[in-house]
Structure 1
Amino acid sequence: MRITHVETHRVRIPAPSPAFAWRAGLEGSPGDDEGAVLHLRTDHGVEGVALLKRPGSAPQLEHAVDRLFRDELVGQDPLDREHLWHRVWEIDRIHELSLPLLGIVDVALWDLAARSANLPVWRLLGGARRKIPAYASTTTFASIEEYLDVADQCLELGYTALKLHAWGDARRDARLCEALRSHVGDDVPLMYDGSAGFDLPDAIHIGRVMSANGYLWFEEPMREFSIHAYRQLQRVVDVPLLVAETSDGAHMNTADFIAAGTATFGVRTDTVLKGGITGSMRIAHLADAFRLRVEVHGSDAPNRHLCMAIPNTTYYESLVTNAAVERERHVDAEGFVHAPESVGIGLPADLEYPAELAQFVGA
């Protein structure tokens, strides 16, 4: 079997409604934008597709395919995923691809392989479970009172754990962490994501508050450029740290965070930011060797497959963007996400999918 065609197709990504915010300094929810589907065809009639939906991603993918990927892929055996994964990283050495572009070819190749085997991707990866609990991962709301109301709605809808994204003000965010613990009691697992908003002194302040309030993990408090800063934070706070979400280098860079002792809860993995499914699974196995957790970032279709294939992950991340909470369609009334049943990853290969696309992107 050989790859014969490498194509891109632009697709509309509708703006979230209502719009939502992140912490101070970060752009909020995007408006209407265009993503792109990478479509691989073979001489055996088997196809593979992957969606890149980050804002501005359509022209990036088109450029990468026309300049780099098509020449590299046409004529190759699509089942040689290891070889092709390394080839993409060789291309990156000169062209400095964005993190999402480093994984898009690999996701399409896994989709193709699973279609060839007539299996969902998570089954092709080996399969670790058939359902996983989801936590409610907030966007940023206006007040502590609004957060507490959102928390009540999430728990009533079946979510059993909550993660905060807040304002990026260490003192104000710390008060929110205290208020939420007092409000929901000691039995609800709570997490907090700093979205890389702090320097070391502020990360220490809020980390100590989370330590005192029994938070399950403290995620990405600082930009992930200084492992030394993370080592210093780990030495002075008791709350477990979840690290290496946006650092470049997939498992290679993640290994340095682990070796430095900073991953006291675990590390992040994600098909978009960690070199596709192959890079994500490398990170999962690396973390498992050190008896650490690996938490899957984000709530799109490829990451649902990861959750079902990785034994040392705890939750599926389900984003809550509206103060009038609606449970994500993939989460059941008891707070579980179930393994996908469709072949491949789930995006139709015929590219006639306005309704199906919404399902694929987690809408």
Structure 2
Amino acid sequence: MKITSVEVHRVEVPPADPPFLWREGLAGSAPVGDGAVLHLGTDEGAEGVALLARPGAHAMLTSLVDVVFREELLGADPFQREWLWHRVWELDRIHELPLPALGLIDTALWDLAGRHYGEPVWRLLGGYREAIPAYASTSTFASTEEFLDVADQSLALGYRGIKLHAWGDARRDAALCLALREHVGPDVPLMYDGSAGFDLPDAIHLGRALSEADYSWYEEPMREFSISSYQRLAACVDIPLLVAETSDGAHMNTADFIKAGAATFGVRASTNLRGGITGAMRIAHLADSFQLRAEVHGSDLPHHHLCMAIPNTTYYESLVTSAHVVRERHVDADGLVHAPTAPGISLPLGLGYGKTLEPFVETPR
């Protein structure tokens, strides 16, 4: 089998309603815009797709395919995913590819394989579970009272835990984290995500409050450029750290976080920031060898498959971006997400210009 077509289709990305923020100074939702679907076809009729849902995605991906990817992929064997995964990293050495583009081809190839064999991708990856608990991952709300109300609604809807994205003010956020723990009691799992809003002194201050409140993990308080800063943070706080979400290099960079002692809870795995399905699974196996967690990041459809395939992940991350909480359609009343059953990753092959992603994506990030 050979790849005979490499195409990009434009799709409409629906806006979040209402719009939301991650923290002060960091926008969350984007206005309605264009996304892009990478479509791979073969001489035997097998097809695979992968979605890039970011502002400017169509122009960026079209340019990459026309200038770089199409020439590399035409005539290639779509089942040689390992070779093609390494080839993308070779191309990155020259072209400095955008981080979300590093795993896009790999994700489309896994989708193609699943469709070809008539199996969902999580089963091709070995399959570990058929359901996983979901936590409510909040956007940033206006007040402590609003956060507490969102937490109450989320727990009433079945969510198994709460993760905060707060204001990016270490002292105000610390007070919120303590208030939430007092409000929900000692048994509800709580997590905090700093969205890279702090320097080391403020990250230490907030981390000590999270330790006091017995949070499960402390995620991305600082930009992930400096592993030594995370090493210092790990030495100064008791709260377990979840790291390596946005740093370049997939498992290669993740390994250095682990070696430095900075991953005291675990590391992040995802397709869109960590090198596709292949990169995410490398990270999961690496973390497992150190008895660490590999928590799957985000609500995209490929991440449903990762959650079912990775033994050392704990939860599915479900975004809650409105003060009126509506449970994500993939989460049931018991707070569980169940394994996909359709072949491949489940995006429809017919997505193209003018189509909407409304049925297939959660809140745009």
Q: TM-score, normalized by length of structure 1?
A: 0.98
Measure the CA separation in 1 of the matches of 2:355 and 2:7.
21
Does the CA contact (< 8 Å) of 2:12 and 2:357 recur in 1?
Answer: no
1:163-312, aligned counterparts within 5 Å? 163-312=163-312
AA aligned opposite 2:330: H
Cα distance in 2 between the residues matched to 1:44 and 1:348: 19
Output the amino acid matched with 1:332: D
The answer (yes or no) to whether the contact 2:11–2:351 under 8 Å persists in 1 is no
- For residue 8 of structure 1, give the secondary structure of its aligned residue in structure 2: strand
Equivalents in 2 of 1:359, 1:46: separation in Å?
A: 24
Structure 1 residue 285: deviation in Å? 0.3
Aligned equivalents of 1:212, 1:186: Cα separation in 2: 12
- What residue is the counterpart of 1:20 in the other structure? 20
Distance in 1 (CA, whole Å) between partners of 2:310 and 2:345 is: 16
Q: Do the aligned residues in 2 keep the contact of 1:347 with 1:357 (CA within 8 Å)? A: no
Preserved contact between residue 178 and residue 213 of structure 2 (Cα < 8 Å): yes
SS across alignment from 1:22: strand
Give the direction of change, closer, same or farther, for the CA distance of 1:353–1:317 in structure 2 (3 Å limit).
farther
1:323 aligns to what? Answer: 323
Counterpart-to-counterpart distance in 1, 2:357 and 2:143: 34
Structure 1: how far apart are the matches of 2:139 and 2:91?
A: 35
Deviations 1:3-40 (A, max 9, x none): 00000000000111111112112123100010000000
Partner of 1:96: 96
Task: Name structure 2 gaps, 5 residues minimum.
Answer: none
Could you give the per-residue CA deviations for residues 225-249 of structure 1, whole angstroms, max 9, x where no partner exists? Answer: 1111111110110000000000000
In structure 1, runs of 5+ residues without a counterpart are none
* Aligned 1:25-174 pairs, distance under 5 A: 25-174=25-174
Inter-partner Cα distance in structure 2 for 1:289 and 1:104: 26
Q: What is the identity, as a one-letter code, of the residue corresponding to 1:153?
A: Q
Relative CO higher for 1 or 2, CA cutoff 8 Å, sep ≥ 6? 2
8 Å Cα contact 1:114/1:121 also seen in 2:
yes
Q: Distance in 1 between matches of 2:56 and 2:11?
A: 12
Q: How many Å apart are 1:354 and its aligned residue?
A: 7.8
> How far is the alpha carbon of 1:352 from its aligned partner?
6.4
Kept after mapping to 1: 8 A contact 2:284/2:312: yes
SS in structure 1 at match of 2:26: coil
Partner of 1:323: helix, strand, or coil?
Answer: coil
For the residue of structure 1 that corresponds to 2:102, the secondary structure is helix
SS of residue matched to 1:61: helix
Tell me if structure 1 keeps the 8 A contact 2:11–2:352: no
Superposed CA RMSD in Å reads 1.2
Contact 2:5/2:42, CA 8 A, preserved across alignment: yes
Which residue of structure 2 aligns with residue 357 of structure 1? 357
Tell me how far apart the structure 1 counterparts of residues 55 and 38 of structure 2 sit (CA, whole Å).
Answer: 16
Report the Cα offset of residue 358 of structure 1.
2.4
**Partner SS state of residue 360, structure 1:** coil
CA–CA separation in structure 1 for the residues paired with 2:157 and 2:171: 30
- 8 Å CA contact 1:348–1:356 kept in 2: the answer is no
Contact 2:6–2:40, Cα closer than 8 Å, also in 1: yes
Identity %: 70
How many angstroms does 1:274 deviate by? 0.5
CA 1:70–1:42: 2 relative to 1, 3 Å: same
- SS of residue paired to 2:302: helix
- DSSP 3-state at the match of 1:359: coil
Task: State whether residues 22 and 139 of structure 1, in contact with CA within 8 Å, keep that contact through their aligned partners in structure 2.
Answer: yes
User: 1:5 is matched by which residue type in structure 2?
Assistant: S
| Structure 2: distance between partners of 1:271 and 1:109 | 12
Distance 1:213 1:34, change over 3 A: same
